[in-house]
Each structure stands twice: as C-alpha cells, then as structure tokens.
Structure 1
C-alpha cells in the first residue's frame, strides 16, 4: 500500500505544470482561474482534462494546473507558444514543470525618485524597456514609483542596470563635489547642498564598499532557504573569512560581501560570490514553493494551521516554513512539499489540539 501511495503522490507533481505570465489586472482572480482552466482543456492548445487549477497564489500572475494525465502536462510544456486572453488583451504564458522555474515570476516596486533631477525618468524607463523587453512596467506615478513584473532573471538584470546607473551618477557627483570644494568660495552654497542630497540618495541604492567588496542579487525565497537550511552558506563565509550584509526587498535579496579586515584576499570574496551563485542556481532548479492562505479564515483555524506546520517542520527538516500574517510559505522539493501539505490537511481535519 505504501508503495502505491508513493507512486500516486509522485504522479501528481508529474501531472502539474507552473503557468507564469497571466494577465494580472485585466481580469478578476476568479475569471482568470476559469480562463486558465478553459484554455488548458482545449485540445487546440495541446490540452486535456484539468483536475485542478490553483489561483491566485502568492506570486501574482502564476498559477498551478494539474491535469488528469501526465502526457497532457508534457504536451502543453512542449508547446512553445501559449497566449491567454481576449483579442484586445493577450498575454504570452510561460509553462514549465512543477520542479522547474518555480521562482520565475517577481513583482517589484521601484522608487526612481532617488535619482532626483539627475535623470529624466521617462527616458530611463524607455531605455530599460528596450534593454529588457521581457519586463512589464506600469505607468510612472507622480512620486517616482513604478511597479515592474517579470522573471527573476529579468528583475535581476533590471536591478543590476539601475545599480550601474546609480554608480555612474554617484561617481559624477563625487567629482562634482571634489571640484566644488576647490571652488567653494565661488560656488553658491545651495548648489553644493543639492549635490550632497543627491549623493546621499544614491548611497541608499549603491552601498559603500571597499576594493574587496562584491554584490549579488538572489530570489528571496532561495536566499532564505540557502541561509536557513544549507550549512554551505555560513560555512563558506567562515572558511574564506568573508562578511555578508543582506538587504531583503520583497521578492529580491541583495547580498554585499566584504573581506574581513586584515583577513582574506579580494580574490576570496569573488570566489565566495561565485560559490553562492552556484548554490542558489542549484536550489532554484530543485525547489518549489506552496502557499497556505490564512487571510479570511477564523482565528481558531489559523492557529490550527500554524500549529500543524510547526509540528511537521520538526519532521520535514528539509522544508522551510515561513509564517506571515496573511499566509504561510512552504519551500522545499516537489515531493517534500506535496507530502507536507497533505499532512497539514490531515492534521487540520483531525482538529489539532492546542
């Protein structure tokens, strides 16, 4: 019986696909879930009988679709061109295996006001759209904020581009201030003050680093799993005498690496950066994330779910459980996540005691 159960459990992941790029904002969540089901049931789209559609998920624009047959899942993945929506509103979908590219959709809000008057924001956005065409930008707000949606790799490229732009402007400001000090008796005080204000704004975007410093950007879920579940992260830092400072910005985490004072050589910092990139890439291919929604449930039910997750986390040591006010994220391998959630539902059904 156990072997039969394991086979069925593994088949679920094989029959499930991750669908990213849904046209968020054009339809309600309920309508979008129905559209997804109808689309993937259509044989014209290489589809077939759909067993379940999970949407909305924590990641906007990403749904999980489980088919009744494994071959249908394989067929829709094999088909390269998927478009969902009406004639006037169509979105190109990315369909992948459950265990692949799960962290493929990221939403970010950019505060471009840090550039101040140094940059024409409309032109900056046009340039970014040309450079990274896979990103979707909302309208620029009057306060300089703009929301962006796209794959993690595309968001990563965006962040690197902005950091590069900020670094370039920071250097220009430093040169300007250096010249301003030489001509301080001839220059208006207010002008220099505005330059200093701009410099401080850029420092919030571009960290001060020494010659041995390195920066890399990771998906937040991958980073949290790497730091909390993998000994290799802290071990690598300790082995090569490298300090790390992390900044979490929603779905994206920036890591600043620096040599211990009087310790390791600059090459060690670069080596550690490369190792962390390799670790994170491996995890990104292996991990998947499931979300248990708490919002809308009664307090007693929420406590029951949280307690069940706490109990199971002591058994499933390779599963990372992150509890938030509105939901609980479960991160791990496809098989572990499936079994974990199944046990949570079982414990909830048994009304876990407090």
Structure 2
C-alpha cells in the first residue's frame, strides 16, 4: 500500500510508474519536480516531492496551489522525459485524498507465450486493456514487473489465464519410463487427496489475498453480511500482502456460506480500495516518553473519528480510514503535538469543542 507523509492533503497527487533503479533517488525527485512545474504538463509550483516511498515506483507530489492538482489530473497522459533517462516513462497520476491503497508490485513471466505470440505485441495489448497498471521493461527471459491495485491486477490475471487457455496444446510423446512415472505420480496424488479429504472432512476452506492494511480494516470493521455467518476468518501476513483463509463446515450449507463470505470480502475490499486513505506518523526520532504521548493522543482522538483504524508500532503509527477522517485526524495530531504537552487533556478537549461549535 502506498503510504507516506506527503502532507498537504488536497494539494497532493500520487504518481505511479516512476522508473526504479535507473538513476539516484534524489535525481529522480528533481526530474519529477521539473516535470510537474512545466506549464505544458499543466503543472505549477511544487512544494515537495516524496520519493522513494514504501511502494516501489510510487511518489507523492505536493503543490503550493491546490488548483494545480485539478489541472494535472485533467491532462490525458504524463510522460516523464529527460536526457538522463533511456526512454519516456508513462506516469499515472491520481488524487492522493481519494486513493491510498493503489499499488501492489508483482513480477509476471510471459515466457509461456513466447512460442505462440510476439511478447511485444502481447505487452502492447495488456497495456491497452489495463491503462491503470504500470508496466516495467520486458526482460529477455519474458519477465516483467507490473504495478497497480488488486482489482486491476485481478483483471489482468483473468485476461492472461484466458489467453493461455486459447493456446494450442502441444502433443506430448511419452515412452514407457515416462508413462510409469506419470502413473506413479497419479497414485501418490490419489493417496495425498484421500489423506487431505480425511483430515479436512469437518471443515471447508476458501482462500483469497488482500492488502494487509485492508485485511486489518475488514477485521476491525466487518461488513454486515459477514455477521452471523458460521465461518472462521484468519490471515497469514507477509509484508504488504495477507493470505486470508475462510473456514466453514464441510456440509453443502457450510460450503455455500464460505463462498458467500469470500465474495463478500472481495467486494468489500474493492470498495475499501477506493475510499480508504493511509497516513503514517513517524516516531523514529522521538524518545520513549514522546512515543507514549503520541499514542495517548491518538487514543484520545479516536472517539471523534470512529472509522479510523489505529495501528501502533514501535517506530510509527499508521492511521487507516476514510479520506476525510484520516486527513482530519492527522491534522489534529499535528496541531496538538505542537501545543505544550503540559496542557491538560480536559483543557484541550474543551478548546476543541468550542472550536467545533
């Protein structure tokens, strides 16, 4: 998930497709600054460029004037061009306030299509059908890095699966040793399936993959359709990705409940993908006492922003929630963290209520 303290809420855009590994990060940040200050890119004065971020190939650009954001978003295509870059790189520009869970990076191998299709033509077709995705350079071995949101990557996956199914099957000639080996493998698979069916006779499992922060948000704020279902939901997290398991009874009704729960979570995650925003409060430079004060401040602000999920860590605090709520929450944290810490909570709360009134 793209997250970073870009600041400026309504003055900030998210930039995807920034080339990684070709130039030094500060040099790329300067090239981005120049690009978004040029008038023919509909740009204006740039206050800050945040690059690199936690998500490879993603940067945040904050303008001095919020009206520049609207102009930049209206431009049909942004091409990052500079004599120090080997070629122009297409950029995707999105409003920071409305999309936070934008980018997942994965490496695809197109080598299976090499004997049947031109990989360059296939890549061009993929780019036309998936304009919201960012594609890296096609490597000689057929691998390519693709970045984008979970829903968009899912559409690309379905496209490639259909493409692979349409390929002509190649006849396989097997001698007797290969036939015996294949029969042995089938027997072993049969034994394994029998063991698995015995072990899982009581439970049925559905699996899907989610952005880790969206998974935490789903678990904290589950949709109503999940309430009352006889399913057990658990997750195994690996960095920004969480593999979610949905277990239900092995009966017909249980299987239907599990499938329904999986579909509900998938649809809910797509909605959250569009509406959630994430902010990070960095605590690396603070001592233990200051870290505790920040965490206490977030807990006291929580009742005013019930839809914000607070994820405290030792080096930072992540805030996940609707765009307006997270923006308001972080602005309150910034404002009150500048106030003297000796000010009592009751005095601060009364000031807040008076201001809101």
What TM bracket, shorter-length normalisation?
0.5 to 0.7
Deviation (angstroms), 1:324? 4.3
Deviation (angstroms), 1:196? 6.7
Preserved CA contact (<8 Å) 2:203 2:249: no
Find the aligned partners of 1:188 and 1:274 in 2 and give their Cα distance: 39
Q: Identify if the C-alpha distance between structure 1 residues 162 and 256 changes in structure 2 by more than 3 Å, giving closer, same or farther.
A: farther
Bigger shift: residues 271-280 or 326-335:
326-335
Find the aligned partners of 2:101 and 2:60 in 1 and give their Cα distance: 13
Write the deviation string for residues 330-351 of structure 1: whole angstroms up to 9, x where unpaired: 2222233233333333454457
Preserved CA contact (<8 Å) 1:108 1:251: no
Q: What are the equivalent positions in structure 2 for 1:25-40 lying under 5 Å apart? A: 25-40=21-36
Quote the residue 2:168 is aligned against: none
Find the aligned partners of 1:123 and 1:256 in 2 and give their Cα distance: 35
Find the aligned partners of 1:13 and 1:327 in 2 and give their Cα distance: 19
Quote the residue 2:66 is aligned against: 70
Quote the residue 1:312 is aligned against: 298
Q: Identify if the C-alpha distance between structure 1 residues 328 and 132 changes in structure 2 by more than 3 Å, giving closer, same or farther.
A: farther
Q: What are the equivalent positions in structure 2 for 1:132-147 lying under 5 Å apart? A: 132-133=126-127, 134=133, 136=135
Find the aligned partners of 2:79 and 2:201 in 1 and give their Cα distance: 45
Q: Identify if the C-alpha distance between structure 1 residues 97 and 139 changes in structure 2 by more than 3 Å, giving closer, same or farther.
A: closer
Q: Identify if the C-alpha distance between structure 1 residues 18 and 150 changes in structure 2 by more than 3 Å, giving closer, same or farther.
A: same
Quote the residue 2:10 is aligned against: 14
Deviation (angstroms), 1:260? 2.4
Find the aligned partners of 2:293 and 2:8 in 1 and give their Cα distance: 26
Quote the residue 2:148 is aligned against: 151
Deviation (angstroms), 1:249? 3.1
Deviation (angstroms), 1:158? 6.7
Find the aligned partners of 2:201 and 2:280 in 1 and give their Cα distance: 37
Quote the residue 1:101 is aligned against: 99
Quote the residue 1:285 is aligned against: 274
Preserved CA contact (<8 Å) 2:249 2:255: no
Deviation (angstroms), 1:147? 8.6
Q: Secondary structure at the match of 1:36?
A: helix
Preserved CA contact (<8 Å) 2:47 2:63: yes
Deviation (angstroms), 1:16? 2.2
Q: Secondary structure at the match of 1:331?
A: strand
2:44 aligned with 1:48, yes or no?
Answer: yes
Deviation (angstroms), 1:224? 1.3
Calculate the TM-score normalised by the size of structure 2.
Answer: 0.66
Find the aligned partners of 2:279 and 2:73 in 1 and give their Cα distance: 20
Find the aligned partners of 1:105 and 1:282 in 2 and give their Cα distance: 15
2:328 aligned with 1:330, yes or no?
Answer: no
Find the aligned partners of 2:238 and 2:72 in 1 and give their Cα distance: 34
Q: Secondary structure at the match of 2:91?
A: strand
Deviation (angstroms), 1:263? 7.6
Write the deviation string for residues 147-176 of structure 1: whole angstroms up to 9, x where unpaired: 944002344457779999xxxxxxxxxxxx
Q: What are the equivalent positions in structure 2 for 1:185-196 lying under 5 Å apart? A: 187=180
Q: Secondary structure at the match of 2:49?
A: strand
Any stretches of 5+ residues in structure 1 without a counterpart? 1-10, 113-118, 165-182, 201-207
Find the aligned partners of 2:136 and 2:313 in 1 and give their Cα distance: 27
Preserved CA contact (<8 Å) 1:40 1:50: yes
Deviation (angstroms), 1:283? 1.5
Preserved CA contact (<8 Å) 2:48 2:63: yes
How many residues are treated as equivalent by the alignment?
303
Quote the residue 2:238 is aligned against: 249
Find the aligned partners of 1:347 and 1:266 in 2 and give their Cα distance: 50
Q: Secondary structure at the match of 1:93?
A: strand
- The counterpart of 1:24, out of the listed 20, 23, 27, is 20
Q: Identify if the C-alpha distance between structure 1 residues 333 and 161 changes in structure 2 by more than 3 Å, giving closer, same or farther.
A: same
Find the aligned partners of 1:209 and 1:38 in 2 and give their Cα distance: 62
Calculate the TM-score normalised by the size of structure 1.
Answer: 0.66
Find the aligned partners of 1:216 and 1:194 in 2 and give their Cα distance: 27
Find the aligned partners of 1:236 and 1:155 in 2 and give their Cα distance: 25
